[in-house]
Amino acid sequence: MTKNILLVGVGGQGTILASKILTLGLQKANYDVKMSEIHGMSQRGGSVTSHIRYSEDKVYSPVIEHGQADVIVAFEKMEALRYLDYLKVDGKVFVNDYEIPGMPVTSGQAEYPQGIIEELKRVADTTVIDANKEAEKIGSSKVMNMILLGTIIGSMNLTNIDWDQILTENVKPQFIELNKKAIKCGIELAK
């Protein structure tokens, strides 16, 4: 069975590194893996997505179909709602309780929508995570992305993969310990 994970967020939030670490782990566990990213243009602040699909058999398409994501992990809450139509009927949403306003809001043309979390909860099995607060507890708001990665690892039962090793190979030495802690924290939060 092919599993589908969708990471969504806003440019600059570290979704790309999180999905890279995830795919490397899945590869190590001998799954066939495909990943597709749409990251827009070089200016910051656009909506970004990473589609990750893996299976013990062959995976063909790198793109998740609507209604097929086992998990959606949103680094920003409005982004969770934007892509909610990708979620499977019994899929799970992990949403970072974090707001990035975007141009229409900062320029005063629109208000940041109220009640997003409530709407997510109404429609889907939703776990709200304050990744920023958790990250600061660990020691740096920069590891928000690794906490959210941890929630995927926890919810998809991927804890038997040697994530410490993958971090060691792909993260700057001074950040390895911090990132390890962040992933563990995410795994706990997903329970």
Partner 1 sequence: MSKQQLMTGNEAIARGVFEAGVRFAAAYPGTPSTEILENISTYKEVLAQWSPNEKVAFEAAYGASLGGARSFASMKHVGLNVAADPFFTVAYTGGNAGLVVVTADEPGQHSSQNEQDNRNYARHAKVPMFEPADSAQCKAMTKFAFEMSEQHETPVLIRVTTRVCHSKSLVELEDRVEKEIVPYVKNAKKYVCVPANAIIRRGEVEKRLDTLKEYSNNCEWNYIEDNGKDVGVIASGMAINYAKEVFGSDVNYLNIGFSYPLPMKLMDSFLKNLKKVYVIEENDEYIEDAVKMLGYKHICFGKYAPDESRFLPAYGELTSDVIRKAVNGGKGYVASFDRSKVLGRPPALCAGCPHRGFFYELGKRKDVVVSGDIGCYTLGFAAPYNAMDFNCCMGASVSGANGMQKVLNMVEGNEKRVVGVLGDSTFFHSGMTSLLDIVYNKGNCITVILDNRITGMTGHQQNPGTGFTAQGEPTEIVDIEGVVRALGIKHVRTIDPNDLTLMRETLDWAIALKEPSVIITRYPCVLKKMSAHDKNEWPQMYSSKCTVDADKCIGCKLCLRSGCPAISVKDKKAVIDKTMCVGCSVCKQICPKDAIN
Chain residues binding ligand SF4 by CB under 6 A are 42-43
Q: How far is the CB of 41 from ligand SF4 (least distance, A)?
A: 8
CA nearest 72: which of 95, 40, 99?
95
Residue with smaller CB distance to ligand SF4, 11 or 14: 11
Q: How far is the CB of 70 from partner 1 (least distance, A)?
A: 13
Rounded Cα distance, 172 and 164, in Å: 13
Instruction: Identify whether the C-beta of residue 135 lies closer than 8 Å to the C-beta of residue 122.
Output: no
46 binds, among ligand SF4, partner 1, none (CB under 5 to 8 A by kind): partner 1
- Residue 187's contacts (CB-CB under 8 Å, 6 or more residues apart) are 150, 151, 153, 154, 159
Rounded Cα distance, 183 and 80, in Å: 20
Residue with smaller CB distance to partner 1, 47 or 151: 47
Give whole-number Cα distances, 16 to 7, 39, 50, 149, in Å. 9, 9, 7, 11
145 binds, among ligand SF4, partner 1, none (CB under 5 to 8 A by kind): none
Residue with smaller CB distance to partner 1, 23 or 179: 23
Residues found near partner 1 in the complex (CB under 8 A):
10, 23-24, 27, 32-38, 40-47, 59-63, 65-67, 78, 81-82, 84-85, 87-89, 101-110, 112-116, 119-120, 122-124
Residue with smaller CB distance to ligand SF4, 48 or 87: 48
Give whole-number Cα distances, 55 to 10, 187, 188, in Å. 28, 21, 25
Q: How far is the CB of 104 from ligand SF4 (least distance, A)?
A: 17
